[in-house]
A and B are shown apart, each in its own frame.
Chain A
Amino acid sequence: MLELKRALDAKGHCLLEMPSGTGKTTTLLSLIVAYMKAHPLDLTKLVYCSRTVPEIEKVMEELRKLMNYYEKEMGMEQNILGLALSSRKNLCINPSVSKEREGKVVDGRCYSLTASFVRARHAADDAVPICEFYEGFDAHGKEFPLPPGVYNLDDLKEYGQMKRWCPYFLARHTITHANIVVYSYHYLLDPKIAEVVSKEISKTSVVVFDEAHNIDNVCIDSMSVKITKRLLDKCSNSITILETTISNMKENDSKRLEKEYKRLVEGLRDATIARETDMALVNPVLPSEILEEAVPGTIRTAEHFVAFLKRVVEYIKTRLRVQHVVQESPAGFLRDIHTKVCIDRKPLRFSAERLASLIRTLEISDLTDFSPLVTVSHFATLVSTYTKGFTIIIEPFEDRAPTVSNPILYFSCLDSSIAIKPVFNRFQTVVITSGTLSPLDMYPKILDFHPVIMTSFTMTLARPCILPMIVSKGNDQVAMSSRYETREDTAVIRNYGNLLVEVAAAVPDGIVCFFTSYLYLETIVSSWYDQGIIDQLQRHKLLFIETQDAAETSLALINYIKACDNGRGAVLLSVARGKVSEGIDFDHHLGRAVLMFGIPYVYTQSRILRARLEYLRDQFQIKENDFLTFDAMRHAAQCLGRCMRGKTDYGIMILADKRFSRADKRSKLPKWIQEHLKDTNCNLSTEECVQICKRWLRQMAQPFSREDQLGISLLTLEQLQSEEMQKKIQQRAQGV
């Protein structure tokens, strides 16, 4: 809190690592809210970015508690408006639209009911369907702001139902004057969405990125484009649709097309003016300088533009027909496209904007069909805008199946700072926090910013409730490692199996295992099957496996939880970068132990990764190996952190790889794990590890009540105020 206050005072950015379950969210919220109250001019808004919908809900819950407390203490209504925002899929209350499952479809349906031309048409002809909720909001909602309070997604829906207003648009509208906004990262990082949603957030805001340990990947993803052959085929289809609509329209209503043409001639200058006045987020897809120019003549008319798109798509198609892997820079790509199909850089740059304009003009209400085309146009814009920090890789087949032709064009962002830069520049304070951010010094480097504060906190605990161990060898003294050379070694696989079986026999309820990749998981499980290890395992616990299929995995998860609840016990085998390792908590009995089989290095042969490593080395002087280790260790830490969700929780963390005990790996673990990782537990064999587990579990099972925590990890007000404690706090604050 102290550190955070310093960062707020300095109006700088900060980076905090706090273990999960220690009240990270509450601390952040309460300080920032207090700060907002004390300095209403310096700090007007809190933007809290989280990762998933459940996490957003959790934050809202905390906020509500805080507000209730304020109300109780101050004895009056608080004039603070807190708000959660999510996609239409989660907020829609229109009975016909909200039935759809897929987010894109919901968006498309919503658009088809609420777009301005649809509503205009509705005014003329009652048969055209519109969304009554949006109408209600449009008619009344804009004048009446939401009363102060805390609204989570369900509250918004309820409020919307009551007033017959669309909750999604209500929330979007309210963002401008709400004090606290909670939403997903993408609303701020992804330029495509940020443009729409976060434009109007003032500069004096605090932005908090929670669970931000892989924020760099989010940044990169939001700027990268992947084009497959199927996507291109779909593009061709939609281009044909465009063509027919244009020709239809030409016959019926050529005026509108003319109007559009004129508008484009005048340029987007008006938009620029509007942008400057409200200090909007500078959209990286569309840098501000090009806004001042008019759309180039070659693509101004609708037919020409469609022809142009067609050429681009055809060109990419021919490029995909390669037999070997191609890697080139955006500049090279542009030159090539210029010589081959005579397309200049400039029209490419405008293609995204132009397409949006065209779709608007054509009054196409169902946007879902056009998403491939939109992707291609984004690609075109990006490729022509940025020459640095990006690369294009065309792979004719996947590495795993070299015989199956499946050409993919990756347009990959290498520099994670591009997407986040506008955020850092625009807001006075950006707080990046997570349970696992170690090593802290890497983040400022790869995100290219200068934090004022950079701290890692540990937990104060009444009992040692995590037990990290490094198991380096099996009972037969064969070293365990997931190194490439020993991967296929049956001795290693068998030792991993034995470790799991013995741990399963000693640890109650749920155990989660993480492997380095799906491929490795599959090979290991199949050889365990041959070795009879699976049979042994099933004597103790049920076995569930995460697969790449999301539906299958969630089914496995449900059954896993059931098995844990019933006391049968279960083992979940999952993958370190998979869905399970991110965002799913295994608290209390669901995860009494986490096993990490091997170090989760990324697939180093991937060309995208290689390109990124090279770029990092050249631009930021980060050694390849350093980055790889950093990346592997943060994922490992992330996996380990799954089992520890609070101070009353406890869990075993087993790192089963010889390499973990090396100093360079160990020191990259978060401080709160390192603190409990004793030297004696760093080089254990399987049976030693099991012995330690058994003993520790018995100790942890002893009754543990609130009073036991008092004075150590839980302070009453008097204790907090006592002099001794103050001194201790001071000491700690200086220590970190």
Chain B
Amino acid sequence: MADEDETKEYRWESGYEKTWEAIKEDDDGLLESNVADLVARAKRKRAALKDTGAIQLGMMRHLFVVVDASACMFLQDLKPTRFLCVLKLLEVFVHEFFDLNPISQLGILTTKMKRSEQITVLAGNQKKHIEALQQLKDLSCEGEPSLQNSLERAMNGLKNMPAYSSREILVLFGSLTTCDPGDIQKTIKSLKDNNIRVSIIGLAAEVRICQEIAKKTGGTYNVLIDDHHLKELILNQVQPPAVAGSMEASLVKMGFPGGSPIVNDGTSDSSADHAPAYCLCHIESETSSLMGPNGYNCPQCGSRYCELPVECKQCGLTLVSAPHLARSYHHLFPIKPFIERAQVRETTHCFACAKLFVEAETNVIIIVNFRLCLFYHSLPFLFLLKVYECENCNQIVCLDCDLFIRETLHTCPGCASDPVTAQMKTN
């Protein structure tokens, strides 16, 4: 008896988690492998979809992240708890988000006890958001979430954003229920009318209403399998979405504050530019020691900021620096998708990573392809390697490099190293 009690006490540490792993190995049902297969294929589908090119992307994004903080977020199926895990991943997300979408804005909401609370307002300052996220860690999760309340709240925040920006909501939803004050269908309808895209990531299981919201507003709905999958799902949201239909293109007024403060080029207001002043980012905090000559001045009203990008507090101008815009640029001109083809005999090495094809791909590709072959019954031979060829420079890379190039690099190493094509591109 005593033994039993002891083992019971520490169930969360071992116990059923392990039996699960054992079942995962079990191969009498096609279950695990099948699903893993589906996930792998979905990944590639997504990649392919992204590369269709020639679609208008919403580069200037306004995104509200809604974090479920209801009682179920204390469950420990994600380590250490769902809530902490999600917050941790959100930090990464915020960082990545501003890295890839420097001229976008983000806000954070939580929902618990049937209410919705605003943690940060829409703003372009990632530090603030990350700070807020870190403070959230001490928040207690209780009660039930309310999808409707949080969506309404986010909608109110997004409604007045300019029409050329994309309006999005990302919900991280752990609960399986939502406790709403009214008819959520109306909320969905007005979300749709306002062109707001709602993407939802479920932490437990497929909930019908989430599916419906995502479908109707043109967002995505995913449910995680484990924490790695969750990370992938969250980071997928970093890429700007294709514009849904009728977003008008218009000119946006932006300020490019003067760069390095050291050089005095003799212009009349340069002395004012570099006079020691409080920066507006820190003026409210009591320990505002950041009084110095460094910083960026708004070209319109002259307020100082220590960091870019930011929206000027005085005159509302978006302040960015040129590299920020350049970083967003690749969204507009993504590299063309590489062509998938069977391995050509002559090339044995990946152009990018210089590994032998077989070596590089044994683990993943052979297995995947083996299954694919079984799947379609029609492919004539089993060990068929897939390699990827760039349309422009005809260099051949492996799958890993292909994904890396497309997701991180955004330039083809073949084209970039070839002087002729590189020249063409700059022209």
Contacts and interface: CB of A to CB of B under 8 A. Distances in A.
B and A form one assembly: yes
A700 B206 contact: yes
A699 B208 contact: no
Nearest to B176: A508
Contacts of B147: 567
A294 interface: no
A711 interface: yes
A702 B204 contact: no
Interface in B224-243: 224-225
B267 interface: no
Given A508-B207, A567-B184, A702 B38 contact: yes
Interface in A586-622: 588-589, 592
Contacts of B30: 464
Interface in A693-725: 694-695, 697-704, 708, 711-712, 719, 722, 724-725
B156 interface: no
A698 B75 CA distance: 15
A286 to B, nearest CB: 54
Interface in A482-532: 505-509
A419 to B, nearest CB: 43
A92 B367 CA distance: 64
B225 A697 contact: no
Given A506-B204, A697-B206, A708-B38, A703 B72 contact: no
B256 to A, nearest CB: 42
B184 A694 contact: no
Interface stretch (B123-131, B190-198, B375-383, B414-422): B375-383
Given A680-B23, A691-B16, A702-B38, A567 B204 contact: no
Contact of A698 (B72, B178, B204): B204
Contacts of B291: none
A722 B204 contact: no
Contacts of A699: 31-32, 35, 225
A698 B224 contact: yes
A678 interface: yes
B202 interface: yes
A540 B39 CA distance: 30
A508 to B, nearest CB: 4
Contacts of B72: 505
A592 B206 CA distance: 10
Contacts of B177: 508, 540-541, 567-569
Nearest to B26: A680
B205 A698 contact: yes
Given A678-B29, A694-B204, A711-B377, A568 B179 contact: yes
Given A568-B178, A680-B23, A698 B223 contact: yes
B20 interface: yes
A463 interface: yes
B42 A687 contact: no
A396 B194 CA distance: 69
A569 B207 CA distance: 9
B202 A701 contact: yes
A567 to B, nearest CB: 3
B210 interface: yes
B117 interface: no
Given A687-B16, A691-B16, A678 B28 contact: yes
A116 B183 CA distance: 55
Contacts of B184: 566-567
Nearest to B374: A711
B28 A697 contact: no
B29 A464 contact: yes
A506 B205 contact: yes
Contacts of B222: 701-703
Given A464-B29, A507-B176, A701 B375 contact: no
A398 interface: no
B180 interface: yes
B168 interface: no
Contacts of A508: 176-177, 204-208
A344 interface: no
B77 interface: yes
A534 B41 CA distance: 43
A708 B38 CA distance: 7
A506 B207 CA distance: 11
B332 interface: no
Interface string B168-182: 000000001111100
Interface string A664-690: 000000000000001010000001100
A207 interface: no
Given A506-B205, A703-B42, A711-B377, A463 B16 contact: no
B68 interface: no
A702 B37 CA distance: 11
A462 interface: yes
B209 interface: yes
Contacts of A694: 77, 204-205
A695 B223 CA distance: 11
B3 to A, nearest CB: 14
Contact of B377 (A463, A700, A725): A725
Interface of B: 16, 19-20, 23, 26, 28-32, 34-35, 38-39, 41-42, 72, 77, 144, 147, 176-180, 183-184, 202, 204-210, 222-225, 375-378
29 contacts: A463-B35, A464-B30, A464-B31, A505-B72, A506-B205, A507-B205, A508-B204, A509-B176, A564-B208, A567-B178, A567-B207, A568-B177, A568-B179, A568-B180, A588-B208, A678-B28, A687-B16, A688-B19, A691-B19, A694-B77, A698-B204, A698-B223, A699-B32, A701-B205, A702-B35, A702-B39, A702-B223, A702-B225, A708-B38
Interface of A: 462-464, 505-509, 539-541, 564-569, 588-589, 592, 678, 680, 687-688, 691, 694-695, 697-704, 708, 711-712, 719, 722, 724-725
